[in-house]
Amino acid sequence: MTDRIRQMHNNNSHRPLTSIRSALWSLGLVAVFQISAFAAETSYPTRPVRVIVPYSPGGSSDAVARIVGQKLGELLGQQFVVDNRPGASGSLGREIVAKAAPDGYTLLIGDSPHTINVHVLKHVPYDPIKDFTPLTLLATAPQVMVINPNFPAQTLSEFIAAAKAQPGKINYGSGGSGSITHLTGELFKLAAGVNIVHIPYKSISVAQTDVIGGQVQAAFPTIPGAAPHVRGGRLRALAISSTQRTSALPDVPTFDESGIKEMIVTNWFGVFGPASLPKEIAARLHATILDAMRAPDVRTKFGNLSLDITTSTPQEFEGHLKSELARWGKVVKAAGIKPE
C-alpha cells in the first residue's frame, strides 16, 4: 500500500505546475460566470425598463404595452416605461431596439408589420429575425372585412358578385401601403379573384371613418377597432379572418364559412429584446410576462380590447415569425407590390 501511494505521488509530481494552475484558474472562471449569471437572474431589473412602441399613442400596440408594462412593474418592482417612437411604418422604433444594448432594459412591443416591412420598404435598417430576441407572443386579433351599411351587399358573396360586375370601381381603404390592413385586402383580392382598388390612409382609423362616411366602400381593420362601429350599426361586417367566430362579433361568419379558404389572417402582438439578450434575463422576462398574462385583471383588459391572449415559448414565437415572413413575402410578390 505504501508503494502504491508513493507511486501516485511520483506521478503527480511529474505533472507541470502550470497545468495545475491553469485548471484551477479555469475552475475559478467557471465559478465567476456562474455567480454572474445567478446575480443577473436574481437582481434584474435594477432600474426602469424602456418599452418601445413603434407607433403613436392610442393604438392597439400602445394599449397592449401599457397593460403589460404596468403588470410587469408590479411583479418585478421596477417601472416599465412605454416610449412611443412612431415613424417609417414602425421601422424607426424597431431599429432603436435592434441597436440597443442587450441588457434587458430596452424591449419592443412588436406586431405583424415586423415581418411585413422588409418586403414593402426599400430600406429596413434591421433584420426582423437576426437582430432581435423573441420572448413571447402576447395576443392575436383577426381582421374583419367591413363595408358601408348603404353598400348593396348583405353578405360576402354578394360583395364579391358586385366587385366582379364592376372591376376597378370599388375601393377599399387601409392604414397605409404595406400595413396589415393593406396586405389583408390584397390577399382577399387574390383569394376571391376580384379587382378592388387600394386607397392608402395615414391610419386604419381614418380609413374606417371614410368607410362610415361612404368615401370608400370597404376596409379590413382588426376586430378591436371595428367592433364598436359594427355593433353601433355604422359599419356592416361581412367576414372575419380567423379559423372560428369571435365572441366580439358572434354573428359574423369567417371567410372560410363564406367560401374563401385562404383568408386566415391575424394581427399579432409580441415582446422582443435586442439580439444576444442574456439567457438568464430572457428566461426571467419570459416567465414573468407569462405570469402577467395569467393575471385576472390583465385578462379582463385584453378581453375588453377584443384581443385573444396567445402566449408562446421563445422558440414557438421565432417559428411564427419565420412563417409570417415567408407568407407575406409571397403575398407581396403575387400582388405585384413594389417597395417604396
pLDDT in tens, 1-11: 444 434 444 44
- 139 strand-pairing partners: 269, 309
For residue 80, give the 3-state DSSP assignment: strand
Residues of the chain with pLDDT under 50: 1-18, 20, 23-24, 29-41
- Domain 47-140+267-335 shares a fold with domain 144-240: yes
- How big is the CA angle at 90 (ends 89 and 94), to the nearest 5 degrees? 145
Q: Where are the domains of the chain?
A: 47-140+267-335, 144-240
pTM of the model: 0.82
Q: What span, in angstroms and rounded, lies between the C-alpha atoms of 270 and 316?
A: 12
Query: Do 127 and 104 meet the contact criterion of CB atoms below 8 Å apart?
Result: no
Query: Do 310 and 118 meet the contact criterion of CB atoms below 8 Å apart?
Result: no
Q: What span, in angstroms and rounded, lies between the C-alpha atoms of 218 and 196?
A: 9
Exposed e or buried b per residue across 122-142, where buried means at least 16 C-beta atoms within 10 angstroms of its C-beta:
eebebebeebbbbbbbbbbbb
The pLDDT value recorded for residue 290 is 98
The pLDDT value recorded for residue 203 is 86
Counting beta carbons within 10 angstroms of the beta carbon of residue 227, is it exposed (0 to 12), middle (13 to 18) or buried (19 or more)? Answer: buried
Could you please state the CATH topology (level 3) that the domain comprising 144-240 is classified under: D-Maltodextrin-Binding Protein; domain 2 (3.40.190)
Examine residue 45 and say whether the peptide bond preceding it is cis (omega within 30 degrees of 0).
Answer: yes
The pLDDT value recorded for residue 22 is 53
Considering the four listed CATH numbers 3.40.50.1000, 3.40.50.1980, 3.40.190.150, 3.30.590.10, the one that applies to the domain covering 47-140+267-335 is 3.40.190.150
The pLDDT value recorded for residue 35 is 43
For residue 191, give the 3-state DSSP assignment: helix
The pLDDT value recorded for residue 153 is 96
AA identity, residue 82: V
Radius of gyration of the chain measured on its C-alpha atoms: 26
CB count in 10 Å sphere of residue 308: 18
The three cell numbers locating residue 71 = 403588470
Q: What span, in angstroms and rounded, lies between the C-alpha atoms of 30 and 11?
A: 27
Residues 6+ apart with CB under 8 A from 78: 45, 46, 47, 48, 49
The pLDDT value recorded for residue 2 is 41
The pLDDT value recorded for residue 225 is 86
Counting beta carbons within 10 angstroms of the beta carbon of residue 54, is it exposed (0 to 12), middle (13 to 18) or buried (19 or more)? Answer: buried
